[in-house]
Amino acid sequence: MEVTRRTLASDNAAPVHPEIMEAIASANLGHAVAYGDDPWTRSACEALAGQFGTECTVAFVYNGTGANVVGVQTALSSFNSVVCSDMSHVAVDECGAIEKLTGSKTDEVRSVDGRIDVAAIEKRLEVLGVEHHSQPRVVSVTQATEVGTVYSPEQIREIADLCHERGLYLHMDGARISNAAVSLGTDLAGTTIACGVDILSLGGTKNGAMFGEAVVVFDSELVVALPFIRKQSTQLASKMRYVAIQFERLFATDLWRRNAEHANAMARRLERELSTREGVEIVYPVEANGVFARMPQRVIDAAREEVFFYSWDAGDRVVRLMCSWDTEDEEIDRLLAAIDRAL
Amino acid sequence: MEVTRRTLASDNAAPVHPEIMEAIASANLGHAVAYGDDPWTRSACEALAGQFGTECTVAFVYNGTGANVVGVQTALSSFNSVVCSDMSHVAVDECGAIEKLTGSKTDEVRSVDGRIDVAAIEKRLEVLGVEHHSQPRVVSVTQATEVGTVYSPEQIREIADLCHERGLYLHMDGARISNAAVSLGTDLAGTTIACGVDILSLGGTKNGAMFGEAVVVFDSELVVALPFIRKQSTQLASKMRYVAIQFERLFATDLWRRNAEHANAMARRLERELSTREGVEIVYPVEANGVFARMPQRVIDAAREEVFFYSWDAGDRVVRLMCSWDTEDEEIDRLLAAIDRAL
Amino acid sequence: MEVTRRTLASDNAAPVHPEIMEAIASANLGHAVAYGDDPWTRSACEALAGQFGTECTVAFVYNGTGANVVGVQTALSSFNSVVCSDMSHVAVDECGAIEKLTGSKTDEVRSVDGRIDVAAIEKRLEVLGVEHHSQPRVVSVTQATEVGTVYSPEQIREIADLCHERGLYLHMDGARISNAAVSLGTDLAGTTIACGVDILSLGGTKNGAMFGEAVVVFDSELVVALPFIRKQSTQLASKMRYVAIQFERLFATDLWRRNAEHANAMARRLERELSTREGVEIVYPVEANGVFARMPQRVIDAAREEVFFYSWDAGDRVVRLMCSWDTEDEEIDRLLAAIDRAL
Amino acid sequence: MEVTRRTLASDNAAPVHPEIMEAIASANLGHAVAYGDDPWTRSACEALAGQFGTECTVAFVYNGTGANVVGVQTALSSFNSVVCSDMSHVAVDECGAIEKLTGSKTDEVRSVDGRIDVAAIEKRLEVLGVEHHSQPRVVSVTQATEVGTVYSPEQIREIADLCHERGLYLHMDGARISNAAVSLGTDLAGTTIACGVDILSLGGTKNGAMFGEAVVVFDSELVVALPFIRKQSTQLASKMRYVAIQFERLFATDLWRRNAEHANAMARRLERELSTREGVEIVYPVEANGVFARMPQRVIDAAREEVFFYSWDAGDRVVRLMCSWDTEDEEIDRLLAAIDRAL
């Protein structure tokens, strides 16, 4: 198999970080009790307790969709709804996994720069108590958002306060939470439990892991059902140690931060350079590891031939350029050169 | 982390086979399009086409529960039922994943030595066409069974014929299909497509992989919905290459066979030795890699202290001794010695 | 349309009792707020509070399957199971409605004379706490059972005690609870709340109503979700008064008792007469309004030509003869005459 | 029970039309095979075949939510979506019944005057074939709409053509289809099968019935599963004759038309009168039996005291005035007088 060139397609097109590969190999010794009752899993949970405090409960799962549906299920009955952004992964990129696995409605709120706000959420709560309507029970925010922006701690806190006043829970889809924390200059707790988040999908895959995410639950009432939900939702790994060791390596060290810092820095460089090009327009604030830019179609075509990336809104000629832990200046240079030639 | 001693607990307590670890490392180069549109996945699909013929469609998933629920969904509506053994993993060991993800009923048939037969299945088909009852649509057999027995090709064929006559599909839970094929002296096709199986859950994890199973669909009408079912059921891996490369290594080479042959041989040795011990009774024919034995409780306790294993039926003092690709004579010797001391 | 002769097919083949028809007509005046906020519904709830005490919460629904799935949902998460008889309507006669609407498994226990007992239920509770298995959360008993037997108050109480000790709830499918209460010589409370039942499907249709059943919830924690569950499960009637008035008439008067007494008495007569016929065997104790009898096939055929009824187990030549509020001696005489001629 | 005064609250606050009550009483004779195998049901199906042609298949259900979820299920897998208006009953007034019973997403399209159009629908079809997104499979339109407007036959046809070109089905929520047909001057076929509708929820309750709706399926491939879907979705009535006779009376005679004509005429009178009042603004074209008007709050309060009705958008001071088969000039006069006094 030939090596494929690096792209700006997605942070999950990137390979596994060598330190994680090394960690996986180190766990490949002897027998371990299956399904998580093993020392690697305990060690990884301790690493996360170190990040979030000891009150959290962790359930490792396979992927982001799995983390989201397992996490929100801890709070949902089928007659509930999940209030979320109209760009949110849970609403538009999981082929209806929420609806299938919970029976709940995803109640999409118009987002601004990928974020939803308290006023818009509050409007959806008017139906509370009326049997004809799905009952909002969870608000889900994505941090960093699907368009590379980041909620401030104050924004998260404000949404959490509203949730808790009205008997709802706050879920955070943190597939890229490391990128958000780095962007905000906080630790992981600083944009989650410190702001009132109740349920977190903690991403590993997009930050250099091979596979695996973690559901982190901060509300003790929600944890009782967690093991059963994970199992029934097909998200319980038998050889759990190979998931756990990745999280141990990412979060017991500063690897999560190094990877995210690098990816974010590459995105900022891209933004800096692109914003000087006439004809290229940055369409969302660049606050994490993604750059969304509008360009003439012939520029898109030429640039993509040089370095692969995806369209975000083909009709509007907006493209998404995702940086990852392994993005190098080389491909950014190549991309820019191709853009300049085409402009 | 200290190395844990080998056990007879489960074939998923075993580590990853070194050739598979090496293969995974070899795929960790450069970028790959996510979700399976990559050369490793294509290569793995070709390897499976080599095993099963070119008419099959393959969808890699994360685990056995995932493979089963994704596979049977291709044939099910919610008003259907899955006729299966009362010991089957789909009915009793997946926390109701079939019910949750399909809405269908698992219709348990009394098994004999882990197997169900045509007569028992046929009785469940009497409700066909009557709106008050869940409509049987899939028969699911486990090969090798949960108690280490194996269906003969003739038995599978007979069930498949009944299914097809009555408009049903035959699903095979092949978490240990390699062990079954080795036991039967056939290739993988010889106990699946050659016998009329329509949908196969092809196991990797219990045969030396890190994680990952494959849904293999032999009926062309059932494949249209497969990608959507996999995604919505949370079983689509983003960094797919790391699943695919494991299957490529297992099934493009004879690794699947070597691993299964070894585990089966160890089980046969265990059976041979145990059957000479007075007070120890083998309760199911040993046809794959598991040995089920009844022993006095003090013998169980003493043996387990030496080499860990699980009870199968605690009240009846039946234990399950599972061999895996890495089982060595050493732990069998230790187990037998402990048994002999206690007897 | 010609009038059809009375049958012994089912208590829901019978027409509506004239007093109920009269009650319905009496409610057909002026406007009523839809969905139950009307005086007829309040009055019917009061009638049921008179039967069960003031702590119960009532939700009227359309039919028995609706009552069962709405009722059990108040206690279930999808990873739960409902322990029930292998003859129970919820498990075998609702086309998988429980599975579809709750995602839970129906865990069938072998019944004896239609009843399940504490020992058999207890065996199913061994899986409690183990994430691989559906978690029993509700035990469902049918009173009177599907084969016309009746649980004694002591039997119900024993099951309820087990449920409550182990954190489960007891649901009673009371499609024929009036027949059971009459048979036991108790009032409706005497076989339900007085014995520890938590959730009751209270039957109307089989006791002379046109349509409509009531979910009666005795556990205050379970009622919060009830209105939403009913609505989402398609069981909320808009012109609710026409359901409610039927329950008001049945249960604010002794109509429920008169109808059940009559049907039970007719069944006892049938039993008495049949048990004197050589070649006819009563296969279940006749304790409510159904008689189950084994007869030679030619006798079945001849009798059915005279008075229609259904087979219960065709292979075993067992038929079901159901009496209803309108059964008269005339058709029993005709049936017996036909049987005598054929014997 | 005292008679309640007529309101403008809802067409399901109205009582049952006397001709339907009389029909119900006429069916209350003798025994009938349960679940629809009876002469009344056959007769009602013939009446509907007379309306729609002989190719249709009819399944009677209990209510509108039941009709909608049973109907769309004939075409849906859980990974599908139902494209519908953001005001549609299926999306916002059924407490998530579609999501629960089908696992599918309701994909809300912004409506204009309650209607959705081809351009907006087409935009939602861009995801067809992409596994990450719920796959549109059904478009659902409401006729008459939730805000009292009516799709023209051409508009329905245009949507149907788009559906069929792209492999989708067109569902019509016809809770008020009689009002729509009368408004358009067509028969029932003229706004359904003649325009390409594949699945119809045919309303009875809001047009003078006691309870009951009909699912009418025009596509022969969709009917196979219909009986099982109805049963499993809790919508199969045992004493079916009492549903069927209502449909027979409504649709074998011109009762459906008389009732709808009357309600529509009353709405037009209301519109005519209100539009002359300064300070009162009609906010949607009045094309069926509902009038939506914006008024000063004190006028709303005063008018509602005289004749009860509901707010539609409380913040925007828009109220909904629904006329029904029994609306009389008397309450309209009272309403107008109260409005005039308050203005």
pLDDT single digits (tens) C144-196? 999 999 999 999 999 999 999 999 999 999 999 999 999 999 999 999 999 99
CATH of C18-251, one of 2.60.120.560, 3.40.50.300, 3.40.640.10, 3.30.70.20: 3.40.640.10
Query: How many other CB atoms sit within 10 Å of the CB of residue D119?
Result: 9
Of A93, A104, A132, the CB nearest to D99: A104
Residues of C in contact with D233 (CB under 8 A): 97, 100, 234
Q: In what order do the strands lie in the sheet with D105-109?
A: D57-61, D213-217, D199-203, D169-174, D135-142, D80-85, D105-109
* Neighboring chain D residues of C13 at a CB cutoff of 8 Å: 31-34
- Residue A291 is encoded by which pair of tokens? 């750059």
Q: Do C105 and B94 touch (CB under 8 A)?
A: no
Q: Which residues of A1-22 are buried (b: 16+ CB within 10 A; e: fewer)?
A: eeebebbbbbbbbbbbbebbbe
Backbone φ and ψ for D179, nearest 5 degrees, come out as -60, -35
Asked whether the beta carbons of A205 and A67 are under 8 A apart, the reply is no
Q: What pLDDT tens digit does each residue of chain B (343 aa) get?
A: 445 789 999 999 999 999 999 999 999 999 999 999 999 999 999 999 999 988 899 999 999 999 999 999 999 999 999 999 999 999 999 999 999 999 999 999 999 999 999 999 999 999 999 999 999 999 999 999 999 999 999 999 999 999 999 999 999 999 999 999 999 999 999 999 999 999 999 999 999 999 999 999 999 999 999 999 999 999 999 999 999 999 999 999 999 999 999 999 999 999 999 999 999 999 999 999 999 999 999 999 999 999 999 999 999 999 999 999 999 999 999 999 999 999 8
Interface contact C79-B94, CB threshold 8 A:
no
Counted residue by residue, chain B has a size of 343
Give pLDDT tens digits for C2-50.
Answer: 457 899 999 999 999 999 999 999 999 999 999 999 999 999 999 999 9
Q: Do C101 and D65 touch (CB under 8 A)?
A: no
Q: How confident is the model at residue D104 (pLDDT cuts 50, 70, 90)?
A: very high
Q: State how far the Cα of B107 lies from the Cα of C341, in Å rounded to an integer.
A: 42
Q: Quick one: tokens of B245?
A: 């490369």
Contact yes or no for C211/C237 (Cβ under 8 A): no
Q: Residue D285's pLDDT band (boundaries 50, 70, 90)?
A: very high
Average pLDDT, chain C: 97
Give the C-alpha separation, A110 to A84, whole Å.
9
| pLDDT above 70 coverage of chain C, percent | 99
Angle between helices B255-274 and B329-342 (to 10 degrees): 20
Residues 6+ apart with CB under 8 A from D155: D115, D117
Q: Tell me what pLDDT residue B54 has.
A: 80
A124-181 per-position pLDDT tens digit: 999 999 999 999 999 999 999 999 999 999 999 999 999 999 999 999 999 999 999 9
Give the integer Cα–Cα distance in Å for C144 and C180. 5
Element counts in chain A: helices (H) and strands (E): 13, 11
Q: Do C131 and A79 touch (CB under 8 A)?
A: no
Q: How far is B152 from chain D (nearest CA, A)?
A: 35
Q: Write phi, then psi, for A201 (nearest 5 degrees).
A: -95, 110
Q: Write the residue in D5, D30, D231 that is nearest to C95 by C-beta.
A: D231
Q: Chain D residues contacting A, CB < 8 Å?
A: 78-81, 92-96, 99-100, 103-106, 108, 131-135
pLDDT confidence bin for D259, thresholds 50/70/90: very high
C100 half-sphere exposure, CB direction, 13 A CA radius: 34
Rg of the Cα trace of chain A?
Answer: 20
* pLDDT the model gives residue D3: 57
Q: Which residues of D touch A79 (CB under 8 A)?
A: 95-96, 100
Peptide bond into A144 cis (omega under 30): yes
Distance CA B55, CA B240 (A): 22
Q: Do C95 and D239 touch (CB under 8 A)?
A: no
Q: Is the pLDDT of residue D2 over 80?
A: no
Q: Which two tokens mark C148?
A: 């016309």
**Beta strands of A97-198 (E only): which ranges?**
105-109, 135-142, 169-174
Chain D residues with beta carbon closer than 8 angstroms to that of C33: 9, 13
Q: Do A234 and B65 touch (CB under 8 A)?
A: yes
Q: Chain C: nearest CA to D309, how far in angstroms?
A: 10
Q: Across the interface, do D230 and B131 touch by the CB < 8 Å criterion?
A: yes
**Checking DSSP bridges between strand D281-282 and strand B80-85, what pairing results, if any?**
unpaired
> CA A33 to CA D137: how far, in whole Å?
44
Q: How many CB pairs under 8 A join A and C?
A: 41
Q: What does the alpha-carbon distance between residue D250 and residue D20 come to, in Å, rounded to a whole number?
A: 8
Task: Name the strand (E) or helix (H) holding A80.
Answer: strand A80-85
**Residue-level pLDDT at A1:** 45
Please state, in angstroms and rounded to a whole number, the distance separating the CA atoms of residues D150 and D268: 14
Cβ-contact B211, B217 below 8 angstroms:
no
List chain A residues with CB under 8 Å of B42: none
Flag if A9 and B31 touch (Cβ within 8 Å): yes
Interface of A with C (CB under 8 A): 35, 77-79, 103, 131-132, 134-135, 225, 227-232, 236
Check A131 against C79: CB less than 8 A apart.
Answer: no
Structural domain boundaries in chain B:
18-251, 255-342
Task: Write the ipTM.
Answer: 0.97
Please check whether residue D260 is in contact with residue D207, taking contact to mean a CB–CB distance below 8 angstroms: yes
Q: pLDDT tens digits for D291-322?
A: 999 999 999 999 999 999 999 999 999 999 99
Distance from CA of C26 to the nearest CA of B (A): 34
Nearest-CA distance D88 → chain C (Å): 15
Residue A185 neighbours by CB distance under 10 Å: 7
Query: Which residues, listed in sequence order, are joined to residue B84 by a DSSP beta bridge?
Result: B108, B140
**Is A115 or D5 the better-scoring residue by pLDDT?**
A115
CATH topology of domain B255-342: Aspartate Aminotransferase, domain 1 (3.90.1150)
pLDDT at C1 over 60: no
Cβ contact D94–A132 (<8 Å): yes
> Which of A102, A110, A134 best tests the D interface by mutation, with the highest count of D CBs <10 A?
A134
Ramachandran angles phi, psi of A159, nearest 5°? -70, -40
Q: Which of C132, C225, C232 sits opposite A231 (nearest CB)?
A: C132
CA distance D86 to chain B (A): 24
pLDDT greater than 80 at residue C68: yes
Q: Crossing angle of helices D18-26/D241-252, nearest 10°?
A: 130
Burial environment of residue B92 by CB neighbours within 10 A (0 to 12, 13 to 18, 19 or more): buried
Contacting residues of D for B232, CB less than 8 Å apart: 78-79, 103, 134
Minimum distance, in Å, between the CA of residue C235 and any CA atom of chain A: 12
Supply the mean pLDDT for chain A.
Answer: 97
Instruction: Name the DSSP letter for residue C223.
Output: S
Q: What is the pTM of this model?
A: 0.97
How many Å lie between the alpha carbon of B90 and the closest alpha carbon of chain A? 11
Cβ-based interface (< 8 Å): residues of B facing D = 35, 77-79, 103, 131-132, 134-135, 225, 227-232, 236
pLDDT per position as a tens digit, A253-267:
999 999 999 999 999
Query: If you search the block for the tokens 């669909």, which residue do you land on?
Result: B217
Closest partner CB to A211 (pick from B25, B231, B237)? B237
Residue C80 contacts residue C135 (beta carbons within 8 Å): yes
Q: Chain C partners of B107 at a C-beta cutoff of 8 Å? A: none
Nearest-Cα distance to chain C for A244, in Å, is: 19
Inter-chain touch B105–C93, beta carbons under 8 Å: no
* Residue the block writes with tokens 């789909």: B90
CA nearest to B44 within chain A = A1
D43 neighbors C69 (Cβ within 8 angstroms)? no
